[in-house]
Amino acid sequence: MAKLDELRVQIKTDPFIDGKRCKAIASATHTSLNPADQEPIATFALAGAKDMQRAVQAARQAFDSGPWPRMATKERVKILNRFAELIQANATQLGTIEACNVGKLLKECIDHDVARASANIRFFASAVQQQGDETFFNDANFLGKKIKTISVTKRYPIGVAGLIAPWNSPLMLSTWKLGPCLATGNCCVLKPSPWALLSVLQLGELANEAGIPPGVLNIVPGDAEGGKALVTDPLVDRISFTGSVPVGKAIAQANAATRVAPISLELGGKSPTVVFADADLDFAAKGVARGIFRSQGQSCVAGSRLLLQDSVYDAFMQRLLKETESMKIGSQFDPESNIGPLITKQHLEKVEGFIATAIDAGAKLTTGGKRPDDPKLSQGNFLEPTIFEKVTTEMNIWQEEVFGPVLVVMPFGTTEEAIALANDSRFGLSSSVWTTNLERALAVANAIEAGMVWINSHFVRDLRAPFGGVKESGIGSEGGRYSLEFFTQPKMICLPYPVESC
C-alpha cells in the first residue's frame, strides 16, 4: 500500500483549466485534514467567480472550435477507454488519497470506488455507441399534394456542462457525471466539494495522458462564490448537481432567476428498509447493518429508517444488535476496521446534534450514540454505530437526513401500515423490502414512493438502470440512456418526397 507521506508531494491541488494547472486568482484557501487524526493533507486555493469564469470560457472555446464534439464517436470512445484504463492503473494512489481525504475504508476506496470510477467512464463510452437515431415514416398533405415523409431524430451534444459533485464518494460520483457528459461530445467544468476533492483533482493529468483535448475537462475547487458563478454563467448549457436539499433548491432558484437551463438534481434521502416476519432474519440483519453503516452512513441511499414487523421485532433486533456491536471502529487504513471516521469534525458535531435532539425528544438510544472510548481514536471524527428505538414520526430523527451512522427503528403490524410509514417522508430516493413472499414484495415495491426499490438486497447497481428519486430527493435520473439524454439535445430533420417517386 502506498504511504500517504510518499503521496503528499505528488498531490496536485491547483485548478486544472484548459489542459494545464494554473494558480487560482482568489486568495481564500482550504486545508484538508485526515478525518482519523486531524493531520493536514494538503492546502489549496478555493477558486472564486473569476476562476470559474475562466474555466467556463475554456470549456466554451473547446466546444465551439475544438476537436472533441466534432470527433468521430469511435475516436472519443478510444480516448475515454484509455482514460478509464489510467484511472484503474492508478487505483492505489487515487484510493489512498481518497481514503485519507474522506475517511472511507481504504479497501472500499480502492476496490469499489476507484474501480467504479473506471467502470463509469468505460460504461458510457460503450453506451454512447449503442445510441441510435430514430426514424419515422408518415403520410401527409403539403400544398394540396400527397407526400410521404421521413422524420429522423438525431441527438447532438448540448455544449458546456457544469458538474457539481458531493463529498461522500467524490471520485465515483464525479465520473458518474463525467462519463456521459464527455462520451456525448460535451465539454465541462467539474466542481468537486472542497471537503473532498484531492482524488478528483488528480484526474487532470490522466485526462491529458489519455488524449482528452485541452478545455474539454476542467476541474475547479471552488467556494460558494465560485459555485454560484458556475450555476449562473450564461455560457453553461446544463447543470448536474448531487448534494443537499438546501443547496439544490438554491441552484434551482438561481438558475430560474438568471436563465432557463436544464438541471439535474440528486438531493439525498431518508430511505426506509421494510423487514417482514417471513424474511430470512439472519440475512436481512446483515443487509440492514450494511445498508446503514457502510461508509459511516454517509450515503444518500443509506437505509436509515428500519420498519420491522412486530411479530419478529425482538428476534430481529437481537440479530441486528449483534451485527452492529461487533463492528470494529478504527482508522480507514486498518484492514480490520468496519467503521471509519466521519469526514470532518464539523460534520461529526452535526450528527451528534441529531442524536442529542432525539434523546431530548424521548427516543430510546439502544446502542452507540457517542465517540469511542479508545484513546487511540480520540483525535479522529469517530462515532459509534447508533440505533434508536421508540421513535415517533414527528421526531426530527425520523424525518431528517442525518447522513451518519444512525438508524431509527419502528414496528409495524400490517402491510398497509408498513407502506404508510415508509411513505411518511418528504424524501423518496431509495428503499428496500425484505420478505420471501414475492407477491408481497412486488406490491410493496410498487406502493413505496421512491425512485429505487431493492428486494432482499440493498444498493445493487446496474449502470443501465435509472438512479434518482421523487419528492425532495431530486429532479431527473442518472444512468444509462437517462444520462445520455440529459447531455444531448434532440433535433428532428424531416425529409418529404412525392408519392409518385415511390
| Residues 395-418 pLDDT 10s | 999 999 999 999 999 999 999 999
All 3 cell numbers of residue 98? 481518497
Is 266 annotated as catalytic?
yes
Helix (H, G, I), strand (E, B) or coil at 276: coil
pLDDT one-digit tens code per residue, 5-49: 777 767 899 999 999 999 998 778 999 999 999 999 999 999 899
Please provide the average confidence, as pLDDT, over all residues in the chain.
95
Under DSSP, the state recorded for 131 is -
Helix (H, G, I), strand (E, B) or coil at 190: strand
pTM of this structure: 0.95
pLDDT one-digit tens code per residue, 323-381: 999 999 999 999 999 999 999 999 999 999 999 999 999 999 999 999 999 999 999 99
pLDDT one-digit tens code per residue, 223-267: 889 999 999 999 999 999 999 999 999 999 988 888 888 999 999
> Mean pLDDT across the stretch 71-86?
98
- Answer yes or no: is pLDDT of 201 > 90: yes
CA distance 87 to 120: 11
- Catalytic option among 100, 181, 187, 300: 300
Single-letter amino acid code for the residue at 317: M
Could you tell me the domains of the chain?
4-28+41-132+154-267+474-488 (3.40.605.10), 272-462 (3.40.309.10)
| End-to-end Cα separation, the chain, in angstroms | 69
All 3 cell numbers of residue 449? 414512493
* Residue written as grid cell 436509515: 304
pLDDT one-digit tens code per residue, 260-282: 889 999 998 999 999 999 999 99
pLDDT one-digit tens code per residue, 129-164: 998 889 999 999 999 889 999 999 999 999 999 999
Q: How many residues does the chain have?
A: 502
In this prediction, residue 189 has a pLDDT band, given cuts at 50, 70 and 90, of very high
In this prediction, residue 1 has a pLDDT band, given cuts at 50, 70 and 90, of very low
Q: What is the bridge-based pairing of β-strands 160-164 and 238-242?
A: parallel
In this prediction, residue 4 has a pLDDT band, given cuts at 50, 70 and 90, of low
- Catalytic option among 98, 108, 266, 384: 266
Provide the pLDDT for residue 501. 54
All 3 cell numbers of residue 165? 459533485
Provide the pLDDT for residue 408. 98
